Amino acid sequence: MTVEVPNVSIDELVLHGRVRLEDLVDREGLDELCQTFVTLFGIPVRIYSSEGALLGGVAGEQELCAYVNTTTQGRKACAAIVGTVKAREPDGTGDVVTTCFTGAAYRILALEYDGRRVGRLIVGPFLPNNVVDVPASLLGVDPSVAKDRAWSLLGKMPLAKAETITRIAAHFKAALDLILFSGHKALITNKMHLASVRESYRQLEEKTTRLQEAFDRLKELDRLKSNFLATVSHELRTPLTSIIGYSEMLSEGLAGEMKPEQHEFVKTIHDKGEQLLSLIMGLLELSKLESGTMRMTMRTIRIDPVLSDVVSTLTPAARKRVIKLELDIGPNLPDLRGDPDRLRQVFLNLVENATKFTPEGGSITLRARTVEAESDGTEEEAGLSLLAPTRTRVEVRVIDTGIGIPAHERPKVFDPFYQVDSSTTREYGGAGLGLSIVKRLVEAHGGTIRIEENRPRGTVFVVSLPQAPLSAAQATSAT
Ligand SMILES: Nc1ncnc2c1ncn2[C@@H]1O[C@H](COP(=O)(O)OP(=O)(O)OP(=O)(O)O)[C@@H](O)[C@H]1O
Ligand SMILES: [Mg+2]
């Protein structure tokens, strides 16, 4: 929807703006005001804008005028007088009288607001009280005008003294002034409100444009970064594989026996090479996940073999650190849709972390449970949510009794390279990439990951994965 907001400056509104009668009071209001005066004083009044447009007033022909209009010459003279009255501007005093050939008069008064002329008030026709006989101009306008008839109709005209008209005009102006004042106030408030809405709208639009530009720039930078990382990682991997391979050959004595010290040096080269390789592999995976080029083979799988495999792979490492590693699989776990190798990678990472950050004598449990979640209504069954089956999820918890993660650090540990303790004296290895890869892999499976506290100590990582979509036959039997 487009909102039209007029372009009005405050200066224009309050200081130098031209106030127009018709902007301040509606026609109905002006008509009502005129009607009140006619009822009170019996003299017609009309209001004209400064451009000469009739804004309000009480019409109704005087009987004398109707009579004069029946004659050819009278009609012409009458039209001329009406034209003069309509067009006549009051002079400097703001008050002028036009006398008709019938002897009736019109007072034309300037209407002012805030020191500026905004229109004219025309009071009349009325018969000034000094008219004592049928004026010669009326008798002479057309030979068919009859004196007696003219005199009797003159008597039906509203009679008024000049002072009475002055008083009526003053009352009228005072009443109009009041109406104009409140109308002006309402107009200013209205326009100021519109101006401020317009300004806010403009600012908002400006900010949105700036945000969009920044967002586009960041997206482009992010894409460049991912491409760069992918290329660099790939190029680094090849020479590194040679370094690792040759150091292994040296260790195995393929190039002749080495002294113990040489052995130690070569071992360091090998270990650091492996460390660097895993960092490069991590970067490569992250950039593939970020750019959406990671290849995953999704199929319907069971999660228990994946978790058993993780436990058996990491049991030796846990045992070495005197940590108890247990697997606890709940009943009736539903099938999931996923890539088992990637899910294995997720839980290997989490259990490796748990092992790394749990002191000797601690324990780690890998627990899988079925959780019934209400349908989120976003799928086809939206609108039929009462009939829709609940969406089952599997929650896998990696529970350790380790050093724990403070609540305020929990959202940050999923950022690449973020480590809770990043000091140089940090006793745990790693680059800080594991969890960022884990989170993206879980999300690629339509899942979520969160961290909870383990009481009295330790951390719980909760990975929640949706059940594989039901086949049509299963869906029918489920409802
Ligand atoms: N189970 C845990 N207990 C306590 N802190 C943890 C645990 N898991 C992760 N963290 C904290 O989160 C940080 C990020 O973990 P992440 O796996 O991303 O990196 P890393 O293990 O330090 O390095 P990498 O996984 O790349 O080898 C860790 O450095 C650690 O501070
Ligand atoms: Mg890790």
pLDDT at 144 over 60: yes
Q: To test ligand 1's pocket by mutation, which of 345, 401, 435 has the most ligand atoms within 8 angstroms of CB?
A: 435
Domain range 299-375+389-421+429-478, CATH class:
alpha beta
Burial of 97 (0-12, 13-18, 19+ CB in 10 A): middle
**Does the pLDDT of residue 247 top 50, yes or no?**
yes
pLDDT, average across residues 431-449? 94
Residue with tokens 């890998």: 366
Q: Is 434 in the pocket of ligand 1 (CB under 6 A)?
A: yes
Residue 285 Cβ inside 6 Å of ligand 1? The answer reads: no
Looking at residue 469, its pLDDT comes to 85
Q: What six digits make up the tokens of 157?
A: 């005209």
Tell me the angle at which helices 260-291 and 162-251 cross, rounded to the nearest 10 degrees.
150
Query: What dotted CATH number matches 219-291?
Result: 1.10.287
Residue 6 has pLDDT above 90, yes or no: no
Q: Which two tokens stand for residue 55?
A: 């804004």
299-301 vs 324-329, strand pairing mode: unpaired
Residue 306 Cα to ligand 1 middle (Å): 22
226 versus 283: which is more confidently predicted? 283
Q: Tokens 């949510």 map to which residue?
A: 385
State the average pLDDT over residues 85-114.
87
Q: What is the largest CA-CA distance in the chain?
A: 151
Contact of 380 with 470, CB cutoff 8 Å: no
| Residue 365 in contact with ligand 1 by CB distance below 6 A | no
- Give the angle subtended at the CA of 189 by the CAs of 185 and 194, to the nearest 5°: 150
- 436 C-alpha to ligand 1 centroid (Å): 10
Token pair in block for residue 130: 């000094």
Compute the distance between CA of residue 31 and CA of residue 25 in angstroms, rounded to an integer: 10
Asked if 284 contacts 230 with a C-beta cutoff of 8 angstroms, the reply is yes
DSSP code for 470: P
Q: Check residue 424 and give its pLDDT.
A: 65
pLDDT at 386: 54
Ligand 1 atom closest to residue 400's alpha carbon, by position in its atom list:
1
In angstroms, the Cα distances linking 445 to 124, 410, 449 are 88, 21, 11
The pLDDT value recorded for residue 374 is 62
Region 316-337: mean pLDDT is 95
* pTM score of the predicted model: 0.56
Q: Give percent of the chain with pLDDT exceeding 90.
A: 43
| Torsional class of 246: left (φ above 0), alpha (ψ -120 to 50), beta (otherwise) | alpha
Does residue 397 surpass a pLDDT of 90?
yes
Cα(353) to centroid(ligand 1), Å: 6
Give the C-alpha separation, 98 to 106, whole Å.
Answer: 5
- Which whole-number Å values give the CA distances from 398 to 331, 352, 361, 453, 468, in the listed order? 18, 10, 17, 11, 22
Q: Is 355 in the pocket of ligand 1 (CB under 6 A)?
A: no
* Residue bearing the bigger pLDDT, 301 or 19: 301
DSSP assignment letter at 457: S
**CB distance 433 to 427 below 8 Å:** no
Rounded Cα gap, residues 395 and 453, in angstroms: 16
Q: Which position has the higher pLDDT, 70 or 379?
A: 70
Q: What is the end-to-end Cα distance of the chain in Å, rounded?
A: 42
For residue 354, which atom of ligand 1 is closest to its CA?
A: 1
What spacing in Å lies between the alpha carbon of 467 and ligand 1's midpoint? 28
Phi, psi of 413 (to 5 degrees): -65, -10
Give yes or no for residue 276 CB within 6 A of ligand 1: no
Strands (E), 52-175: 54-57, 95-99, 105-113, 116-128, 159-160
Residue 473 binned pLDDT confidence (cut-offs 50, 70, 90) = very low
Residue 399 Cβ contacting ligand 1 at under 6 Å: no
Helix, strand, or coil here: 79? Answer: helix
Domain spans, the chain? 10-201, 219-291, 299-375+389-421+429-478
Reply yes or no on whether the pLDDT at 371 is more than 90. yes
pLDDT digits (tens, 9 = 90+) for 35-63: 888 888 888 889 988 888 888 887 667 88
Q: To test the ligand 1 pocket, which listed residue (413, 436, 437, 439) has its Cβ within 8 A of the most ligand atoms?
A: 413
Counting DSSP H helices and E strands in the chain, the numbers are 13, 13
What ligand has the least distance to the C-alpha of 438?
1
pLDDT range class, residue 389, cuts 50, 70, 90? low
The whole-number average pLDDT for the span 326-335 is 95
Q: Which ligand is nearest to the CA of 429?
A: 1
- H/E stretch holding 279 reads helix 260-291
On the CB side of 109, CA atoms within 13 Å amount to 20
Q: Which atom of ligand 1 is nearest to the CA of 434?
A: 25
Beta-bridge mates of residue 57: 46
**Token pair of 358, please?**
């749990």
- Its CATH architecture, for the domain 10-201, is 2-Layer Sandwich (3.30)
Whether 435 is in the pocket of ligand 1, judged by its Cβ within 6 Å, is: yes
Q: Average pLDDT over the chain, rounded to whole?
A: 86
* Average pLDDT value for residue range 126-135: 87
Average pLDDT of span 175-198 = 84
The finding on whether 457 has its CB within 6 A of some atom of ligand 1 is no
> Cα separation of 265 and 413, whole Å?
34
Please name the residue whose Cα sits nearest to atom 13 of ligand 1.
Answer: 419
- The answer to whether the CB of 465 falls within 8 A of the CB of 450 is no
Q: Please tell me the number of the ligand nearest to residue 351's CA.
A: 1
- Going by pLDDT thresholds of 50, 70 and 90, the confidence category of residue 159 is confident
Ligand 1 center from residue 355 Cα (angstroms): 10
Whether 449 is in the pocket of ligand 1, judged by its Cβ within 6 Å, is: no
- Compute, in angstroms, the gap from residue 358 CA to the centroid of ligand 2: 13
Any atom of ligand 1 within 6 Å of the Cβ of 348:
no
Is 304's pLDDT higher than 50?
yes
Nearest CA to ligand 1 atom 17: 434
Per-range mean pLDDT, top range of 9-23, 178-192, 262-276: 262-276
Q: Is 358 in the pocket of ligand 1 (CB under 6 A)?
A: no
Specify the residue with its C-alpha closest to ligand 1, atom 19. Answer: 432
Atom of ligand 1 nearest to the CA of 282: 26
402 lines ligand 1 (CB under 6 A): yes
Q: CB of 451 closer than 6 A to ligand 1? A: no
Number of C-beta neighbours around residue 112 at 10 A: 15
The answer to whether the CB of 414 is under 6 A from ligand 1 is no
Please give the distance, rounded to the nearest whole angstrom, from the Cα atom of residue 324 to the centre of ligand 1: 19
The alpha carbon of 72 and the centre of ligand 1 are apart by a number of angstroms equal to 108
With both helix axes pointing from N to C terminus, report the angle between 340-356 and 434-444 in degrees, rounded to the nearest 10: 150
219-291 and 299-375+389-421+429-478 share one fold: no
Instruction: Tell me the three-class secondary structure of 46-64, residue by residue.
Output: EEEECCCCEEEECCCCCHH
Whether 74 is in the pocket of ligand 1, judged by its Cβ within 6 Å, is no
Residue position matching structure tokens 């839980």: 347
CB count within 10 Å of CB 18 equals 9
C-alpha dihedral over 424, 429, 431, 433, to 10 degrees? -140
HSE value, Cβ hemisphere, 13 Å, CA-based, for 390: 8
pLDDT band at 472 (very low <50, low <70, confident <90, very high): very low
At 121, give phi and psi (nearest 5°). -115, 125
**CA pair distance 218, 111, nearest whole angstrom:** 63
